[in-house]
Structure 1
Amino acid sequence: MIGKLTPVIAQPTPEAGECHYLQRDRLLEVVASEPNQAEGIEKHIHFFVEATDQGVPLSATRLNDLKIQLEAADVLYREVLGLTPPLHMPRYQRANFIMVMLRADQVRGGQAYDEVVRSPAVSDCHIRMALGSQVNAAENLTPAHELFHLYQNAHMMFKQGWVHEGLARWSESLLRGDIQKGDPLPTNAEALEVVMQDSYGAAIFWQRLFYLLDPQGDSSIPKVLREMRYHDGSQVVAVSERYGSAFLPLLFSSLNEAGEALAHQEQWPVYGWAEAEQRDLRHNRAILSAVHHAVSLYMPIADQPDELRTFMQLIEPMIDR
């Protein structure tokens, strides 16, 4: 049970995140953590399991497959998409590592947390994600999905489902290999509202936007990723081409700036929004503003295909200025 968050160190500047103390935490034991290694994800991703006799013991095979998927996803997000790793972003500058907590009472599924924390069980400041202890990475992309959430949390405060879950679901296609061109973008306010009320299903919106911005695609995947295999021999990264990867860092940067501007306007701490505010759909105007800004910078209106130009004209009256 995660208890109340209590700041450990006062925030010295608006650009710095805080480290919170969890007064209660699950009993945890390290199962794979070698922070001094020169190679591998152990430098910044550490695995813990609950210190309990309950549940099925974690096998070395499952653990290795989890590590392989997370390593592949991390390389994809950093080197292929060009995103700044969470621990290098201001919000998480106090975090020393990413904890992957394997829960004995949870068979599958996962959750990404957004605060820097420490606790009686783990004294170093860190950010964390939880996974069911029996997640089979060779058949389940939940670990990569939750890691993408940590990248999102590092770059933006917005957690509206169509952005938070829609983009994370899109990221799964980079490993699954089912990159698609998506359905046509909304052409009226009603269709756009359907997208903004969606969650995982909004992935097709992002697929289409990325395709229109980058119709030629990119098929360059690092050799190290192409050669990664799970214990059963299946390929970890199956994607052969992708769209819009050069645009994504610009989108994240624009969402980051929009969040900072909104925090200043509302007189909130930059990284101290209430959870309800992070998810509030009234901030969709700020998100649309960030999308409009990023697209405009990435592709001048004269170069935009008709479908994209029509969408930009649709959202222009809705954006904050």
Structure 2
Amino acid sequence: MKKLFLLICCSFLNYAHATQDCRATSLYWASDFNKFIQQDEFIVYYTDRPNSKNYIQNQTDLNNNHIPDYVENILIQAIAARDAYTLARLRPPLESPRYKNKTGSIAIFVKDIPGNGVAFEEPSRFTNVAAGKMPCSLIIYISNKFPVFPGNYFAVVSHELFHLYQYSYAQFKNSWYLESLAKWAEQSLRLSPKIISNENWLYPITEFEWENQVFSKSYNNLFRYLFLKNKNDMLVFPESFTQRRYIDGSLVFKDKYWPGGKAIVRLLDDLQKQSNHISKLNHWDKYNWEEKNQRLVDWNAIIKSSILNNIKADDLQDHYP
């Protein structure tokens, strides 16, 4: 793992500002964020002000460097997930045609939010961040309320980061596709699961099951099942990955295998082509569909077809090795 260079407190960030099409706003809560750590393209913002509702509840600091382990582990996980996705030959969001000339960083705010995490697709910067001038960034929020991090939520950063990959490839935001594939991307850092008996309905899939078990459920197990059944698609992590650890010494990569890690790139490449084609037909900006158009049920059939074409039925095996 690369040496972790941490920039702390009120220093100014060194990233060049990409100003084209970057939304600059001043949000009342951003002034709470007076600390950050940074490595590569990732900047993790947090506050050390105990009276702020964005204050991290778990302030454990095992390495005594005056940075909560919670924050350092978020950065460690972001880098690990990025490296796993790169090994799978996925194009990093910041290198995509959509974002390449707009932003050079990914900002992760550890803050008070209703859920576990959320990722935003538009490059933005907050003009009133107390830690210093914030560069134009793709933005992720991660909850400050987990009892521990990573703990039981150890894959939330990889999940939200993968959404940025999805946004960089295609405009489709149908929740059954967006969330279920990001849920599967988490498996790059989790123990590889096994098929369970009640998933047998998922292949072959009837039209009724597509409507009632896939399209209607954001966190369905479609990709879990299809990728586990594909015996020939097993991405193997090198030792340099599997030896990585969080601050408490626990493993970052819980397994050396990532089932389905090769199929994801084929699927996203195809969805990008489909998205660009629809943009051309409708005379839409191919990187900025209206939100309502991103979520049209009309795209269900297109995404389904792409899945079936890129995760071949002939490749599927009866048993996971």
TM-score scaled by structure 1? 0.77
The one of 139, 150, 154 equivalent to 1:138 is 150
The one of 165, 169, 179 equivalent to 2:183 is 169
- Counterpart code for 1:206: F
Superposition deviation, residue 191 in structure 1: 0.7
Equivalent residue number for residue 223 of structure 2: 206
> Do the aligned partners of 2:232 and 2:315 also contact (CA within 8 Å) in 1?
no
1:61-72 map, 5 Å: 61-72=69-80
Superposition deviation, residue 21 in structure 1: 2.9
Deviations 1:1-35 (A, max 9, x none): xxxxxxx64xxxxxxxx3223354622434113xx
> Do the aligned partners of 1:263 and 1:270 also contact (CA within 8 Å) in 2?
yes
Unaligned runs of 5+ in 2: 1-18, 60-66
Equivalent residue number for residue 253 of structure 1: 269
1:257-296 map, 5 Å: 257-295=273-311
Superposition deviation, residue 149 in structure 1: 1.0
Cα distance change on mapping 1:271 and 1:179 into 2, 3 Å: same
**Are 2:39 and 1:21 equivalent residues in the alignment?**
no
**Are 2:86 and 1:78 equivalent residues in the alignment?**
yes
TM-score scaled by structure 2? 0.77
Larger RCO, structure (CA 8 Å, separation 6 or more): 2
Identity of aligned residues (%): 24
**Are 2:209 and 1:191 equivalent residues in the alignment?**
yes
Instruction: Give the secondary-structure state (helix, strand or coil) at the position aligned to 2:189.
Output: helix
The one of 98, 106, 121 equivalent to 1:91 is 98
> Do the aligned partners of 1:179 and 1:239 also contact (CA within 8 Å) in 2?
no
Instruction: Give the secondary-structure state (helix, strand or coil) at the position aligned to 2:36.
Output: strand
Residue correspondences, number: 275
Query: 2:161, 2:282 → 1: CA distance?
Result: 29
Instruction: Give the secondary-structure state (helix, strand or coil) at the position aligned to 1:242.
Output: strand
> Do the aligned partners of 2:235 and 2:259 also contact (CA within 8 Å) in 1?
no
Query: 1:248, 1:100 → 2: CA distance?
Result: 24
Cα distance change on mapping 1:124 and 1:65 into 2, 3 Å: closer
Cα distance change on mapping 1:77 and 1:305 into 2, 3 Å: closer
Instruction: Give the secondary-structure state (helix, strand or coil) at the position aligned to 1:286.
Output: helix
- Counterpart code for 1:99: A
Equivalent residue number for residue 138 of structure 2: 127
Query: 1:51, 1:92 → 2: CA distance?
Result: 31
Cα distance change on mapping 1:108 and 1:293 into 2, 3 Å: closer
Query: 1:101, 1:151 → 2: CA distance?
Result: 18
Cα distance change on mapping 1:29 and 1:155 into 2, 3 Å: farther
> Do the aligned partners of 1:62 and 1:134 also contact (CA within 8 Å) in 2?
no
The farther-off stretch of 235-244 and 188-197 is 235-244
What is the RMSD computed on CA atoms of the aligned residues? 2.6
Query: 2:69, 2:183 → 1: CA distance?
Result: 26
The one of 223, 226, 234 equivalent to 1:218 is 234
Equivalent residue number for residue 12 of structure 2: none
Query: 1:263, 1:50 → 2: CA distance?
Result: 41
Superposition deviation, residue 224 in structure 1: 1.9
Cα distance change on mapping 1:229 and 1:108 into 2, 3 Å: farther
**Are 2:66 and 1:49 equivalent residues in the alignment?**
no
Deviations 1:87-114 (A, max 9, x none): 00011111110000111x3486111000
Superposition deviation, residue 86 in structure 1: 0.7
Equivalent residue number for residue 166 of structure 2: 152
1:24-43 map, 5 Å: 24=27, 26-27=30-31, 28-33=33-38, 42-43=39-40
**Are 2:114 and 1:102 equivalent residues in the alignment?**
no
Cα distance change on mapping 1:67 and 1:304 into 2, 3 Å: closer
> Do the aligned partners of 1:159 and 1:278 also contact (CA within 8 Å) in 2?
yes
Cα distance change on mapping 1:199 and 1:107 into 2, 3 Å: closer
Cα distance change on mapping 1:21 and 1:219 into 2, 3 Å: closer
Query: 1:150, 1:54 → 2: CA distance?
Result: 28
